Structure 1
Amino acid sequence: MSFKIVIIGAGSVGFTKKLFTDILCVPEFRDVEFALTDLSERNLQMIKSILDRVVEFNRLPTKVTATTDRRAALEGARYIISCVRVGGLEAYADDIRIPLKYGIDQCVGDTICAGGILYGQRNIPVILDFCKDILEVAEPGAKFLNYANPMAMNTWAAIEYGKVDTVGLCHGVQHGADQIAEVLGAKSRTELDYICSGINHQTWFIDLRLNGRKIGKDELVAAFEAHPVYSQQEKLRIDVLKRFGVYSTESNGHLSEYLPWYRKRPDEITRWIDMSDWIHGETGGYLRYSTETRNWFETEFPQFLESAARPIDPAKRSNEHASHILEALETNRVYRGHFNVKNNGIVTNLPQDAIIESPGFVDRFGINMAAGITLPEACAATCTSSINVQRMSVHAAISGDIDLLKLAVLHDPLVGAVSTPEEVWQMVDEMVVAQARWLPQYADAVPAAKERLSKSRIKTREWAGAARRDVRSIEELRAEKTALKQAV
């Protein structure tokens, strides 16, 4: 088979390499062309040299090109994969830093909450530019696979306004299933069957079977509380499981941002999180991790290049959805996964226009979703709160209406639990001004926002958050990795 796959934001080096090797685990895909595109020529050349090394070592006919000209990369493409973060780590730092001045403590800030909403404002205009180019120069009917956050907002904009065949992809369901299989003592995850449904990062294991036997709430709670690691790392998720009756797919830290009861009081935050790794609730944890990862890659690039000279092993193919979807569409080998698509009746008690994450099957006829799923009422309630924020955020990003943007942020559950309306109005002004270069739709609103900020008397504070760690130096990271190897 010969067709073209474009990866936009290919400078996301580790993830790009994973998607690339996953796809090449499919024997029929040896002759495909990968077109890499990114704003950074330096990052592009670094990842291209790694992928070229993979191709050369495995003696494959696969073609890899790289260009900063996105439209040229998209010409004739059948599949487009997006991994973009508009504004990079510089804008992301403001997503965490500015809300902290108003008492809003985020672990990740890439889905909703103040950081996730502004992230969406930066991404959506660019996503629509992608869609325009896809419709004009890609293969007719090209499929857009969106991995970029905020997943629901980006996918919503691409489907509703970009008019491109789009599916949103995440790995939260797979990671949650791995945990459940482990605590229940399964020999492998294949022994576990499950149905998850909800919205991205708020998806719920509403049916669990271990070797065909239904697993109830009490058994699952007991299994997690007995686990020596997860009982400490997932305290918030376990508490939600006890109260809601179902387990969330999302990490302890991420989930804490969507359910404000656990993150609205600084002195309570540390009760529910764990500092052994960023993902369990650390303030700005993913920003720190992303910064360290980028610094590590740039410093240790020769090691990354050397490690690329290894055989592609299909047995090590990851559970990321992209390669499996492409395989099913092209070969008709059926694949079951959990996908982000427009609801349209799939989940009965969520809004029809929402982007839901739910089970589906892929074959040559496309992605076929299982319809008629009903969530437990508590799950539907929390999802609906987020959907309302997402809808307003998408509409604000499209229209450039700063008042609607402020209303979206005001209605965010965690923001609303922490900040007053006056504080929200000022915080949004501050974020829009700080990120103006990535927010073209708000260009006309920036001067007035600056004027309001110059006259404001609302007090803010310089605060690192309830549980912040400093970014580690390369030397510290190297010492830690050496210690881990010695311990093993």
Structure 2
Amino acid sequence: MSFKIAIIGAGSVGFTKKLFTDILCVPEFKDIEFALTDVSEHNLQMIKAILDRIVEANRLPTKVTATTDRRKALEGARYVISCVRVGGLEAYADDIRIPLKYGIDQCVGDTICAGGILYGQRNIPVILDFCKDIREVAETNVKFLNYANPMAMNTWAAIEYGKVDTVGLCHGVQHGAEQIAEVLGAKSRQELDYVCSGINHQTWFIDLRLNGRPIGKDELVAAFEAHPVYSQQEKLRIDVLKRFGVYSTESNGHLSEYLPWYRKRPDEITRWIDMSDWIHGETGGYLRYSTETRNWFETEYPQFLEAASKPIDPEKRSNEHASHILEALETNRVYRGHFNVKNDGVITNLPQDAIVESPGFVDRFGINMAAGITLPEACAATCISSINVQRMSVHAAISGDIDLLKLAVLHDPLVGAVSTPEEVWQMVDEMVVAQAAWLPQYAHAVPAARERLSTSQVKTREWAGAARRSVRSIEELRAEKTALAQVG
């Protein structure tokens, strides 16, 4: 087979390498072309060198090109994969820093909450530019695979306004299933069968079976509470399981910022999180992790390049959906996964215009979703709160309506539990001014926002958050990796 895959945001080096090696685990795909594009020439050349080394080491005919000219990369592409972060770590730092001044403590800030909403405002205009180019120069029946967060907002904009055949992809369901299989003592993941449905980062295991035997709430709670690690790392998630009756796909830290109950009082936050790793609730945890990872890659690049000389091992193919979807579409080997699509009857008790994450099957006819799923009422209520925020956020990003943007942030569950309307209005003004370089749709609103900030009487504070850690140096990271290797 010979076709072209374009990867936008290919400078996300580790993730691009994973997608690349996954796809090349499919024997029929050895003759395809990968077209890499990114705004950073430096990052592009780093990842191209790694992928070229993989191709050479495995003696493959695969073609790899790299260009900052996105339209050129998209020409003739059958598949387009996006893993962009508009504004990079600089803008992301403001997504965490500014809300903290108003008492909003986020762990990740990339889905909803103040940080996720502003992230969407930066991404959506760029996503629509991608879609315009895709419509004009890619293959006629091109499929757009979006991995970029905020997943639901980006996918919503691409489908509704970009008019491109789009599916959103995430690995939260797979990670949650791995945890459940482990606590239940499954010998392999294949012993666990499940239906997981909801919206991205708020998806729920509504049907669980181990070797065909249904698993109920009480058994699952007992299994998690007996686990020596998860009982400490997933305290909030287990509490939600006890109250809702079903387990959430999302990590302790992620889930904590989508709900209005667990992060609203600074003295309560540490009760529900765990500091053994960033993903369990640390303030700005993903920002720290991302910064350290980038610094480590830049410093240790020769080691990454050397590691690329190893043969591709199909047994180590990851559970990221992209390679499996492409394999099913091209070879008709059926794949079952969980995908982000427009609802349209997939989930009966969520809005039909929403982007939902739910089970589907892929073959040469496309992605075929299982329809008619009904969520437990509490799960639906929680999802609907987020969907309302997402809808307003998408519409604000499209229109450049700063008042609608403020209303979207005001209606966010955690923001609403922490901040007053006056604080929200000022916070949004401050974020829009700070991120003006990446928010062209709000250029007309920036002067007035800056003027309001100069006369505002709303008090703020410089606060690091309830559980903040400093970014570690390369020396500290190296010492930690050495210690872990010795223990292992």
TM-score, normalised to structure 2, is: 1.00
Give the Cα separation in 1 of the matches to 2:450 and 2:326: 47
CA–CA separation in structure 2 for the residues paired with 1:461 and 1:399: 32
Supply the distance in 2 between the matched residues of 1:2 and 1:91 (Cα, whole angstroms). Answer: 38
The CA distance in 2 between the partners of 1:150 and 1:52, in whole Å, is 31
**How far did residue 484 of structure 1 move?**
0.5
User: Once the 2 structures are TM-superposed, how far is the Cα of residue 243 of structure 1 from its aligned partner?
Assistant: 0.2
Q: 1:80-479, aligned counterparts within 5 Å?
A: 80-479=80-479
In the TM superposition, residue 326 of structure 1 has moved relative to its aligned partner by 0.1
* Whole-angstrom CA distance in 2 between matches of 1:257 and 1:141: 38
1:135 alignment partner, SS class: helix
Cα separation, 2, equivalents of 1:454 and 1:443: 18
SS of 2:71's partner is helix
| Cα distance in structure 2, aligned partners of 1:184 and 1:6 | 40
Give unpaired runs (5+ residues) of structure 1.
none
CA distance in structure 1 between the aligned counterparts of 2:127 and 2:165, rounded to whole angstroms:
13
Post-superposition shift, 1:73?
A: 0.3
Q: Distance in 2 between matches of 1:260 and 1:28?
A: 48
Q: 1:314 Cα deviation (Å)? A: 0.6
Note the alpha carbon deviations across 1:80-136, whole angstroms, 9 max, x for none: 000000000000000000000000000000000000000000000000000000000
Deviations 1:38-86 (A, max 9, x none): 0000000000000000000000000000000000000000000000000
1:297-323 deviations in Å (ceiling 9; x for gaps)? 000000000000011111100000000
SS of the residue 1:35 aligns to? strand
Q: How many Å separate the matches in 1 of 2:414 and 2:395?
A: 21
- Identity across the alignment (%): 92
SS in 2 for 1:262: coil
Determine the structure 1 residue equivalent to 2:33.
33
Deviation at 1:368, TM superposition (A): 0.1
Question: Aligned with 1:260: secondary structure?
Answer: coil
Pairwise CA distance, 1:169: 0.1
Q: Distance in 1 between matches of 2:10 and 2:227?
A: 38
SS of the equivalent of 2:194 reads strand
Alpha-carbon distance in structure 2 between the residues aligned to 1:59 and 1:335: 28
Structure 1 counterpart SS, 2:361: strand
Using the alignment, how far apart are the partners of 2:112 and 2:141 within structure 1? 30
> What TM-score, normalized by structure 1, do the two folds share?
1.00
Distance 1:152 1:324 in 2: 21
Equivalents in 2 of 1:18, 1:260: separation in Å? 35
Q: 1:279: how far off? A: 0.2
Give the C-alpha shift of residue 260 in structure 1: 1.5
Task: Please give the alpha-carbon distance, in whole angstroms, between the structure 1 residues aligned to 2:212 and 2:315.
Answer: 25
**CA deviation after TM superposition for structure 1 residue 376, in Å:** 0.1
Deviation at 1:141, TM superposition (A): 1.2
Deviating beyond 4 angstroms after TM superposition, the runs of 4 or more aligned structure 1 residues are none
Displacement of 1:345 in angstroms is 0.8
* CA displacement, residues 348-369 of structure 1 (integer Å, 9 cap, x when unaligned): 0000000000000000000000
Distance in 2 (CA, whole Å) between partners of 1:141 and 1:394 is 25
| Cα offset, 1:259, TM superposition | 1.0
Distance 1:437 1:236 in 2: 37
Name the CA distance, whole Å, in 2 between partners of 1:226 and 1:239: 14
The DSSP-based 3-state class of the residue aligned with 2:261 is helix
Q: Say what the alpha-carbon RMSD is for the aligned residues.
A: 0.3
Cα deviations across residues 244-277 of structure 1 (Å, max 9, x unaligned)? 0000000000000011100100000000000000
Q: What residue ranges of structure 2 are gaps of 5+ in the alignment?
A: none
How far apart are the structure 2 equivalents of 1:281 and 1:341? Answer: 28
Please give the alpha-carbon distance, in whole angstroms, between the structure 2 residues aligned to 1:29 and 1:487.
Answer: 39
3-state SS of 1:467 partner: coil
